[in-house]
Amino acid sequence: MKPWYLQTDKQVQTFFDVDSSEGLDEQNALVRLKKFGPNTDPLLSPEMQGVYQVWVKRQGQPKRIPLIQLVPGDIVILNSGDRVPADLRLIKVNDLYIDQSILTGDSLPMAKNTFALNEETPFADQKCMAYAGSFVSYGSGLGIVVAHGDKLAIKNILPKIHHRHNLTPNLAERHLKKAGVVVQNAQASHLLGSIDVVFIDAEMPDEKILEIIRKVQFSHGLPCKFLLTGLVAKRLKRELLGALIYPGDQLAKHVPKQFLGMIIDAQFTADAALSDVLKLVCTMQRHGTKVLWVSDGKKPTPIIQAATVSLLVGDLARGDCIARADLIAPGADATVLTSILYNKK
């Protein structure tokens, strides 16, 4: 059989007996799951594979499913920040660019299209394909799953995969696991006990913010900084007598060492740009202040990698954010801090 990139999108749809406008129905998907087995990703630990979610078309409607439930013939919906969950033959693109450096070593994302090629070509030139392990840099598209699990192209490219995950759980990791946290970077579980300040950029009700302040900051002496809109910060300040708000536009200026304490003392930072928060986090760490970054992962930011430890909460994090985070708490919000930092002090 010809490689998928040599076949038209119509030929691929016919082979997998799927209509791109409808996708598979649930019964057909279950039959295929039983026949072909669960999808796997050799770059992810088993725990991480349970974290990733994928948007597919099922019976004409978008549906979010676990990565492991993806089957051949599924129509995958791709958007900016998504991790490509299997090998896909692209059938629709909208200014789609994919970072496939893990496969090709290219430093720049590749522009994708849906046109079949006329001759066999290397990965770097297969513009109508998207391969597992790559990321959507921007744009959107649709692709048919043509290979998953043991059939993935990346299985033949990478002779040996090394996970950051520590396969021998220690006490700290067991504590995190009990709280529903997936450890992607084993070293992070050891560093949690040395954190000096927590930055939180995640939407949550006022009462949960106050719960974190009471149980983490007041009870255990670990300063918690919330990145909020000015309106929310002022509302919460009325609930906390003496709480300080640091204006986000001040972060755009150079922050000398003597002002770091003032920022740490401020409970809320209002209307701050993430690029300015990144500068602040880097400045703090240069001066020996260890930072825990907590986010819902809806916005890409280098802070995830710059912080001493990064924790993503919730189920709506982008795939590229998940891939870079140290800890992931799916199905939880930032109040998970009250469990994992309970014995900090």
Give pLDDT tens digits for 171-215.
Answer: 677 778 888 899 888 888 888 888 999 999 999 999 999 999 888
Residue 233: the pLDDT is: 87
10-24, 245-259, 265-279, range with the lowest pLDDT: 245-259
The helix/strand/coil state of 6 is helix
- Residue 54: pLDDT over 90: yes
Sorting pLDDT into bands at 50, 70 and 90, what band is 98?
very high
CB-based contacts of 299-307 (< 8 A; 24+ apart in sequence): 299/201, 299/274, 300/81, 301/274, 301/277, 302/278, 303/199, 303/274, 303/277, 303/278, 306/278, 306/281, 306/282, 307/199, 307/281
Q: Does this chain's domain 4-157 share its CATH topology with 171-340?
A: no
> For tokens 């509302």, what's the residue?
235
Compute the average pLDDT of residues 13-29: 95
Contact 78, 315 (CB under 8 A): no
Residue 165 CA to residue 172 CA, distance in Å, equals 13
Q: Which residue has the higher pLDDT, 50 or 194?
A: 194
Residue 255: the pLDDT is: 58
pTM of this structure = 0.82
**Chain-centroid distance, C-alpha 315:** 9
Q: Specify which of 159-163, 235-239, 327-331 reaches the highest per-range mean pLDDT.
A: 327-331
Residue 136: the pLDDT is: 95
Residue 188: the pLDDT is: 84
Pairing label, strands 245-247, 268-270 = parallel
Sequence letter at residue 203: E
Residue 249 CA to residue 71 CA, distance in Å, equals 48
Around Cβ 205, how many Cβ atoms within 10 Å?
Answer: 9
- Rg of the Cα atoms in the chain: 22
Contact 75, 20 (CB under 8 A): yes
Q: Which CATH class is domain 171-340?
A: alpha beta
For the chain, the structural domain boundaries read 4-157, 171-340
- Residue 254: pLDDT over 70: no
- Residue 165: pLDDT over 80: no
Phi-psi category of residue 164: left, alpha or beta, with phi > 0 → left and psi -120 to 50 → alpha = alpha
Residue 104 CA to residue 123 CA, distance in Å, equals 7
The helix/strand/coil state of 124 is helix
Distances (CA, A) of 64 to 56, 107, 227, 273, 316: 6, 31, 29, 30, 11
- Work out the mean pLDDT of the chain and round it to a whole number: 87
Sorting pLDDT into bands at 50, 70 and 90, what band is 153?
confident
DSSP code for 215: I
Torsion angles phi and psi, residue 146, rounded to 5? -105, -15
CATH fit for domain 4-157, picks 2.70.150.10, 3.40.47.10, 3.40.50.300, 1.10.287.3510: 2.70.150.10
Short-list 333, 299, 311, CA closest to 195 = 311
User: Residues 227-251, buried b or exposed e (16+ Cβ, 10 A)?
Assistant: bbeeeebeebbeeeeeeebbebebb
Sorting pLDDT into bands at 50, 70 and 90, what band is 314?
very high
Residues sharing a CB contact under 8 Å with residue 288, sequence separation 6 or more, in sequence order: none
Residue 161: the pLDDT is: 42
